[in-house]
Amino acid sequence: MVRFVPGTRALRTLEAAARHLNFTRAADELGLTPAAVSHQIKEFEDQLGLALFARTSRTVRLTEAGAVLSEASADAIDLLNRAVSRAQKLARGQSLLKVTADAHFAAKWLMRRIDGFRAIRPDIELRFDISYEVRDFDRDDVDVGIRFGAGKYPGLAADRLFDNVIVPVCSPALLRNGPPLTTPRDLFSHRLVHIEWSRRGVTWPNWRMWMAAAGVDDFDDSRTMVFGTSSDAIQAAIDGSAVALADFAMVAHDLSEGRLVQPFELGVRMAPEFGYFLVYPQSAADDPRIIAFRGWVLDEAAKTRT
């Protein structure tokens, strides 16, 4: 979450130029022209009476003075951002709780249940930061978050919500009108979609892995379609154009309301070290707002598991 603290323009320009060692790339990051970056650096140098960059026709490098001041600029900007975050949290009082979550989790799980929290705790006003970017609780104006990962975040408490079990889903119309789905091999007659994701040597379950778990050893995965996000894969299943592999927790609501059906009970578990976690600063563990939200989220996660 980029925050520009008033009065730090020159510091931000110096820090970006020093990090990139390229005025054009620094300009792109800051939303300026290269000429504007060059002018600001020159103005900074003139005011200090120091050369911060050594320029040639092709390269830019930091002088010793530039290295010292660019490092100090980065530290100062970080310190100011953290102070602004603390000030914003103090200013908004104790009735507001800001929750950050990625768009997929928010749409498929959190927002479909959030009215339940509002019903039992009308005294707590919720605001949401929906983004795939991982927020920094020290720097960003957020109180609690839900992240997918390994659950090891220094300085943060992390409560696992549920295991990730990947199951096949499709629309009821496809099940009624399409080729029958009686055995796993019947899936060969359908368009199959999944996502590709891997981290730390762990791969998100795909159709080849699901077929192997189902005892099908001659599956040709070259005919499967790969989607960029789970939301797109699930939507393809809802639209009736495909059978998708989806995280059961993320489609539980669609299954319960009949938008999707699960043609086979078999699910493939994600590696246990990865999952969705409720995270918040350990220093804020006794915050009554976080205690209330944590208790509600964990109760809802337990309902999803069952």
In the numeric block, which tokens belong to residue 231? 């939301």
Q: What are phi and psi of 109, to 5 degrees?
A: -130, -60
* Rounded Cα–Cα distance for residues 283 and 286 (Å): 8
pLDDT tens per residue across span 84-93: 767 776 666 6
**Distance between terminal CA atoms of the chain?**
36
What's the whole-number mean pLDDT along residues 128-153? Answer: 89
pLDDT tens per residue across span 3-33: 567 778 888 999 999 999 999 999 999 999 9
Tell me how crowded residue 65 is: count the other CB atoms within 10 A of its CB: 15
pLDDT tens per residue across span 229-240: 899 999 999 999
pLDDT at residue number 149: 87
pLDDT at residue number 2: 47
pLDDT at residue number 152: 87
**Tokens 């929906």 — which residue?**
130
* Rounded Cα–Cα distance for residues 238 and 254 (Å): 9
What are the distances in angstroms from CA 246 to CA 41, 165, 183, 230, 270? Answer: 51, 8, 19, 7, 11
User: Could you write out the DSSP letters of every residue in 169-188?
Assistant: EB-HHHHHHSS--SSGGGGG
* Rounded Cα–Cα distance for residues 253 and 106 (Å): 13
DSSP state of 261: B
For the chain, the residue count is 306
In the numeric block, which tokens belong to residue 2? 């980029």
Region of residue 215 (left: phi > 0; alpha: psi -120 to 50; beta: else): left
DSSP H stretches of helix in the chain: 9-20, 23-30, 34-48, 64-91, 103-105, 114-120, 172-177, 207-213, 230-238, 248-256, 288-305
pLDDT tens per residue across span 41-83: 999 999 999 999 998 878 889 999 999 999 999 888 878 877 7
Helices 34-48 and 9-20 cross at an angle (nearest 10°) of 110
Q: What are phi and psi of 302, to 5 degrees?
A: -65, -40
pLDDT at residue number 58: 81
For 248-272, give one letter per residue: b (16+ CB within 10 A) or e: bbbbbbbeeeeebbbbbebbbebee
Cβ–Cβ under 8 Å, residues 170 and 263: yes
pLDDT tens per residue across span 179-188: 899 999 999 9
Cβ–Cβ under 8 Å, residues 175 and 263: yes
